[in-house]
Amino acid sequence: MNIKTSNKSGFTLVEIMIVVAIIGLLAAIAIPNFVKARATSQMNGCINNLRQIDAAKQQLLLEKGDTAVLDIANLQPYLGRGAAGSWPKCPTTQADNYVIEAKDVAPTCPNGTAPQLHVLPL
């Protein structure tokens, strides 16, 4: 008696479709989380820039007094970014349009939107 065995090996179309469906489902779950993590990371980077600007402003006011002019040119040396300093950029838009504000007001970033505001905490 002869028993015929097939040496063909491989995946069926149904098995391949199931694997593709599982990968698609995992991607549908993961991609929004990556986008949210990126936005949160950019917001935290911007808040750290605001913190540095506020510290530079406080140091300038401490050294020069309350009559010091709060502008980019005067604050750059206090930012600790090389000899002349460089003005930070918001990670969200790569724009350097931070608003310094008055001496008792924290600096602000106009680039934040409602769920991800770029605001220096009190």
Please tell me the predicted confidence (pLDDT) of residue 83: 61
pLDDT per residue rounded down to tens, the chain (122 residues): 677 766 677 889 999 999 999 999 999 999 999 999 998 899 999 999 999 999 999 999 999 988 889 988 888 888 887 666 678 888 988 888 888 888 888 898 888 776 677 888 77
Q: How far is 109 from 117, CA to CA, in rounded Å?
A: 9
Please tell me the predicted confidence (pLDDT) of residue 87: 85
Please tell me the predicted confidence (pLDDT) of residue 94: 86
CB-based contacts of 92, cutoff 8 Å, min separation 6: 42, 43, 46, 111, 112, 118
Q: What is the DSSP letter of 54?
A: H
61, 68 contact by CB (below 8 A): yes
Which two three-digit tokens encode residue 72? 């980019």
Total domains, the chain: 1
In a domain? residue 10: no
Full domain range(s) for residue 54? 18-113
According to DSSP H, which parts of the chain are helical? 13-64, 72-75
In a domain? residue 119: no
Please report how many Cα atoms fall inside a 13 Å half-sphere around the Cα of residue 8, on the Cβ side.
Answer: 4
In a domain? residue 47: yes
What percent of the chain clears pLDDT 70, i.e. is strictly above it?
Answer: 92
